[in-house]
Amino acid sequence: MTTPGSDPLRTPTGSTGTPGTTTGPATAGPATTGTTTPQRHPVRTAGRTAGRTLALALLLFVTVLLVLFVVYNTQTVEISLVFVDVQAPLVLALVIAAALGGLLVGLAGLVLRARRRSS
């Protein structure tokens, strides 16, 4: 049985270096002021579990929204490009427009970051 606050795996060493003798400070090595290395707190799994549950719920919610979006936007629309008119499902047109918008925002961010680094 161990006393509270003691580490059962750590054997104290004294001036002779033999385990169990704690008569004086150790002569070899750097001088310490009686501080011990802080012990790590036990891993908190409750916060991680709650975070994972929240992330899973959010993923499920977004997936349901995307499926409903695809189901309700199946009608074919005509898209007028510069030189040609094409017909495509509305959901495809919206996804392509969103991807191109995201690409533009990403490129604008890269340009601004490059300008900040150069000046």
Say how far apart CA 74 and CA 59 lie, in whole Å.
Answer: 23
Summarize the confidence of residues 62-84 as an average pLDDT: 89
* Bridge partner list, 13: 19
Convert the pLDDT of each residue in 19-38 to its tens digit. 555 555 555 555 556 566 66
Average pLDDT, the chain: 77
Q: Stretch 1-5: mean pLDDT, rounded? A: 60
State residue 51's pLDDT score: 85
Mean pLDDT of 59-67: 91
For the residues 69-96, what does the mean pLDDT come to? 90
Q: Report whether pLDDT(1) > 80.
A: no
Which residue ranges make up each domain of the chain? 44-73, 75-119
3-class SS at 7? coil
Q: What percent of the chain has pLDDT over 90?
A: 32
Find out whether 101 and 109 touch, Cβ atoms under 8 Å.
no
Cα–Cα distance for residue pair 78/101, rounded to 1 Å: 20
Asked if pLDDT for residue 107 goes beyond 90, the answer is: yes
pLDDT at 16: 54
pLDDT value of residue 95: 87
